Structures are given as C-alpha cells and as structure tokens.
A and B are shown apart, each in its own frame.
Chain A
Amino acid sequence: MRGPHDVGGTPDRPVDPLPHDLTFWEKQIDALHALIGDDKRRISTRDENRRYVESLGHDVYNTLTYYERWTAAMCRHLIEKGVLTQDEIDAKVGEVRRRLAESGELELRAGEAEKLP
C-alpha cells in the first residue's frame, strides 16, 4: 500500500526547485496549526497532521496544493476531535464567499448566491 505522499521513484512532472514566497493565508494555516498543536491545546500533533494529510486519498491529495492539503486535513481533524462541526465550517465558508462576492473578489457559482447564509 503506497500512500499519495510516498511517490519516490514514480514518474511525475519536473520538480520546480526555485524558492517561492508563502501567501498570507498559507502562513495563517501554518500558524493555526502551530496554535492548535501547542502544549496548551494539544489538539493536533505534527505526526497526526501528517497522517491526516496522507489520509486525504490520492485524488484529493493530488488536486490540492501543499497548504490546501493542510487545510483539508485540519478540517477533518477538528471535526473528529469535536472542536468544530461540518455545519459550522460550511456556514463560515459561505459567509466568506458571500463577502468576497460582494466586494467583487470572487465570482459565485451559478445558483450559489441563494444558498449562502
């Protein structure tokens, strides 16, 4: 059984070796992970995070970028630990999508506006 992360020796596209800056949201996800894993909270550890990222499955893993994987893994993790519910996450995502749509930064999908909170 080979996890989606364990790709050593398998064919793939060329690696881009150039350094690149992290976006603000990527830094936020990194910081959030550090906070929920600190000694006070201990909600997520580095090894658990790796397991959750690997558990996303090949399709999801290969569709998402590095910190998108962390985000998806963190959602599942926080739901399983009882910190957040899927409904709470969906409501917040809907709220943000509506706000971005109103400011012109995001184009909503057809029929989405009526469903948003």
Chain B
Amino acid sequence: MSNVFAPGDRVRVREDFPPGHIRTPVYIRGKTGTVTRRFGTFENPELLAYRLEGPRKTLYEVRFRQAELWPDYAGAGDDTLDIDLYDHWLEKA
C-alpha cells in the first residue's frame, strides 16, 4: 500500500471535499507536514457515522508548521500544529 508511513515521512493531505461525516478539517487539506507518530489501526469514523463496515484505518499524528497553515500567522516561525489524520487522507509528499 502506498499510504503506509513512518515517523519522519513527509506527507501531503488530500485536497478533497467529499460529502458525509469527515474528520479531516478543511484547513489542513492540501497541506504538507511530517509524520510524528503512528497510533495503530482504528475503525473508520467516516463509515461508523453511517453504521457501515469497512477496513480499519491507520491513524497518524502529523506535524505542520503554523506559518504554512495560516497566511497571517503572527507567532514564532517554528511554531507547529499536531493533528491526527487517517491514512486514506495522506499521500507521500
């Protein structure tokens, strides 16, 4: 599978806007960050929200530079944001 990652890997969040119950916030879509942790596999909440069954998804913690997320970011240049994302939202950067 192409979306298996390890800490240190650079990943880009898919810039998709599917309907339904989505846990990947819009502000992070299309952004590039670095994998910091692999949490393990979990049921996919996008399916659970409809009582559907499907393959378990790997959840990662990904770190982004705040200055790359917000065009007018006024904090320190090395400030970061950590966010949990499922593997099907990530691709190799």
Tell me if B51 and A48 are in contact (CB < 8 A).
yes
A51 to B49, CA, bound (A): 6
* A114 close to B (CB within 8 Å): no
* Minimum Cβ distance to chain B for residue A38 (Å): 16
A48 to B25, CA, bound (A): 18
Interface residues of B in 38-76 (CB under 8 A from A): 45, 48-51, 69-70
Closest to A55 in B: B21
Tell me if A1 and B19 are in contact (CB < 8 A).
yes
For B17, what are the chain A residues with a Cβ–Cβ distance below 8 Å? 1-2
Tell me if B25 and A50 are in contact (CB < 8 A).
no
Q: How many contacts A-B (CB < 8 Å)?
A: 35
Instruction: Classify the interface of chain B: helix, strand, loop or mixed.
Output: loop
Q: How many residues of B contact A (CB 8 A)?
A: 17
Interface residues of A in 3-33 (CB under 8 A from B): 3, 6, 8-9
* B6 close to A (CB within 8 Å): no
Q: List 25 A-B contacts (CB under 8 A).
A: A1-B17, A1-B18, A1-B19, A2-B17, A2-B26, A3-B22, A6-B25, A6-B26, A8-B25, A8-B27, A8-B28, A9-B27, A45-B48, A45-B51, A47-B21, A47-B45, A47-B48, A47-B49, A48-B48, A48-B50, A48-B51, A50-B45, A50-B49, A51-B20, A51-B50
